[in-house]
Chain A
Amino acid sequence: MATHLTAANVRPRHKRVLPGLSLSLGTSLLFISLILLLPMTGLVMQTMDMGWERYWQVITDERVVASYKVTLWAAALASIFNGFFGLLLAWVLVRYEFPGRRILDALVDLPFALPTAVAGITLATLYAQNGWYGDVLESLGIKVAYTPWGIVLAMAFTSIPFVVRTVQPVLEELSPEEEEAGMTLGASDWSVFRRVIFPALWPALMTGIALSFTRSLGEFGAVIFIAGNMPYVSEITSLMIFISLQEFDFAAASAIASVVLMASLVLLFAINIWQARYLRRLHGR
């Protein structure tokens, strides 16, 4: 064994020493091509077949456009809510010790662990007229289930963990010096938070909100049970694809799906580029 341990073997750090590049990269590429890229060709072919005019007609249909609006609005409201709630949760989990903190930390991931259909029927039952929450809200004159607010609620529920889990690590690593300097100089909590802590947190906060928004745009299982699915009012875009499929209108389903797919890919690339940028800035300092 000792013969292998010559200086020549140890020194060159950038030379490839580890085995398995072709095996691991080959498997990954094959897998991604088969699982991910190949199925996309079907969508491309289907939409190419239908011709531009028909394609445009399908994706600008009044009912479909109404579904874009509802989906975008609901996803935006849900992710803004999660921006606030997620920041609060992350803050409380990182900064304070209190009984039940560990349980709270574990509970945050419940929306990821709970199947969306289960979340959907549960929220629908709770917020329906004779449900626990629906009863109370009814007496206040508020209706959530089977209205667009139900969509917001379901989207907010399923994407709670994103903001918490992106902000939490940044908050944990925040160095206390600047904050303490501000405090000793007699600045108020709020102004130190606004001037020192928030600027450090907001890239992570924005990433979390963007992830939550992307997830909400695509959410299906949790939403359809509580939305009521009224045409022009509370139909989400994923449901429009689903309905077209049930009518065996593959062309229409593909056209709408291509819009959704492009929107989510643009969002995904934007988030990745943005994250890479602020990570570089963070480490550059």
Chain B
Amino acid sequence: MSATKSAPGQRHTLRVGDNPIVKWLLISVTLFLTVILLVVPLISIFQLAFMEGVAHYFSSLMEADTLHAVGLTLLVAALTVPINLVFGVMLAWAVTRFEFRGRKVLMTLMDIPFAVSPVVAGLLYLLLYGNNGWIGAWLYDHDIQLMFAWPGIVMVTVFVTCPFVARELIPLMQQQGREDEEAAVILGASGWQLFRRVTLPNIKWALIYGVILTNARAVGEFGAVAVVSGNIRGETNTLPLLVQAQYEDYQAAAAFASASLLAMLALVTLLFKAFVEWRQERSLNIESDKERKAVA
């Protein structure tokens, strides 16, 4: 009996778990749990959204509050993503292209937003920029309101999503090494040319995926935004906050209709991730083919 396709090397020795009974038992347990834990909840979002009919679904999406929440959510994402894109690329460039003291500390600091509870994140901003905070009091005197308004929502969203781009780029850039870029500099490329012609093509897909993740989280952030938004319906409600407000008002169908928009975005994110991984695998294969031919 030959083994099932296991290692990429196509070995024909039996490996652990190759016994067909074990194999299919493990696969079916996994699929069963995945369906129960992930697939059914996903489907039920759409089922619940349409529970009062298609007409109700679309009419609740066309309500002024919902449209406003969609608009605000898009605005927050549109401001957050470019900020974190620039920061992520800068940080990844600094920590993968240079050795300096405190490099590890910098990378750990970058991870803090992942570890901190979003409610704590919101609180940090509220304490500093709220009317009682030391910056907030000064802003208040100058009639600038950041908290309980859209700028505050953008600020906490930037905080919560700032590690995503860098996190996608750092492992890839570390793996790719500095040789290509060093060669380009020696050949006389300017900084911007170097980035556009050499670095960017190499990190393109990871960068796009980082942006997609940042966007998904920026659109869906709840805890931090709930703290600083003040929850004024039709004014400072983002889509996730509207979902909560509608749900707590016993407008379940409307809540799930709004939620279905967010779920669709999540599905697009997942599809895109699968696509990016497929592209990366393909480009790796092409490269290793090239190398094999070059060696031969």
Asked if A pairs with B, the answer is yes
A171 to chain B, nearest CB (A): 11
Asked if B262 and A115 sit within 8 Å, CB to CB, the answer is yes
Given contacts A183-B16, A261-B120, is CB(A18)–CB(B243) below 8 Å? no
Q: Which of A24-32, A58-66, A141-149 contacts B (4 or more CB under 8 A)?
A: A24-32
A206-258: which have CB < 8 Å to B? Answer: 214-215, 217-221, 225, 237-239, 241-242, 245, 250, 253-254, 257
Given contacts A38-B128, A269-B108, is CB(A117)–CB(B186) below 8 Å? no
Q: Which of B87, B124, B126, B182 has the most CB of A within 10 A?
A: B124
Given contacts A106-B274, A242-B226, is CB(A5)–CB(B266) below 8 Å? no
Binding site for B on A (CB under 8 A): 1, 4-5, 9-10, 16-21, 23-25, 27-29, 31-32, 35-43, 45-46, 85, 88-89, 91-92, 95-98, 100, 102, 104-107, 109-119, 121-123, 125-126, 132-133, 156-157, 160, 176, 179-180, 183-184, 189, 192-193, 196-197, 214-215, 217-221, 225, 237-239, 241-242, 245, 250, 253-254, 257, 260-261, 264-265, 267-269, 272, 276
B114 to chain A, nearest CB (A): 8
B181 touches A (CB below 8 Å): yes
Asked if B41 and A119 sit within 8 Å, CB to CB, the answer is yes
Given A4-B188, A114-B263, A123-B41, list of 5 further CB < 8 A pairs?
A17-B182, A88-B26, A132-B40, A238-B223, A264-B117
| B residues in contact with A189, CB < 8 Å | 16-17, 19, 22
B16-48: which have CB < 8 Å to A? Answer: 16-17, 19, 22-23, 26-27, 29-31, 33-34, 37-42, 44-45, 48
Asked if B91 and A28 sit within 8 Å, CB to CB, the answer is yes
CB-nearest residue of chain A relative to B112? A36
Given contacts A19-B194, A42-B127, is CB(A36)–CB(B109) below 8 Å? yes
Given contacts A96-B4, A238-B223, is CB(A110)–CB(B117) below 8 Å? no
Asked if A176 and B7 sit within 8 Å, CB to CB, the answer is yes
Given contacts A36-B159, A42-B124, A250-B132, is CB(A221)–CB(B118) below 8 Å? yes
| A residues in contact with B240, CB < 8 Å | 115-118, 221
B142 touches A (CB below 8 Å): no
Asked if A19 and B262 sit within 8 Å, CB to CB, the answer is no
Asked if B117 and A180 sit within 8 Å, CB to CB, the answer is no
Docked pose: A123 CA to B112 CA in angstroms? 28
B166-195: which have CB < 8 Å to A? Answer: 178, 181-182, 185-188, 191, 194
Docked pose: A25 CA to B96 CA in angstroms? 11
Docked pose: A189 CA to B25 CA in angstroms? 14
B258 to chain A, nearest CB (A): 9
Asked if A16 and B98 sit within 8 Å, CB to CB, the answer is yes
Asked if A107 and B182 sit within 8 Å, CB to CB, the answer is no
Binding site for A on B (CB under 8 A): 4-7, 9, 11, 13-17, 19, 22-23, 26-27, 29-31, 33-34, 37-42, 44-45, 48, 86-87, 90-91, 93-94, 97-98, 100, 104, 106, 108-120, 123-128, 130, 132-134, 158-159, 162, 178, 181-182, 185-188, 191, 194, 213, 216, 219-223, 226-227, 239-241, 243-244, 247, 252, 255-256, 259, 262-263, 265-267, 269-271, 273-274
Asked if B37 and A193 sit within 8 Å, CB to CB, the answer is no
Asked if A23 and B90 sit within 8 Å, CB to CB, the answer is yes
| A residues in contact with B17, CB < 8 Å | 91, 95-96, 189, 193
Q: Which of B4, B123, B128, B269 has the most CB of A within 10 A?
A: B123
| B residues in contact with A110, CB < 8 Å | 38, 42, 266, 270
Docked pose: A189 CA to B23 CA in angstroms? 12
B82 to chain A, nearest CB (A): 13
| A residues in contact with B117, CB < 8 Å | 217-220, 237-238, 241, 260-261, 264
Given contacts A19-B194, A42-B128, A179-B15, is CB(A113)–CB(B269) below 8 Å? yes
A/B interface sample: 19 pairs, CB < 8 A: A18-B185, A20-B191, A24-B94, A25-B100, A88-B33, A92-B27, A96-B17, A100-B31, A106-B274, A107-B270, A109-B273, A111-B38, A112-B216, A113-B269, A114-B263, A176-B13, A220-B117, A242-B119, A257-B123
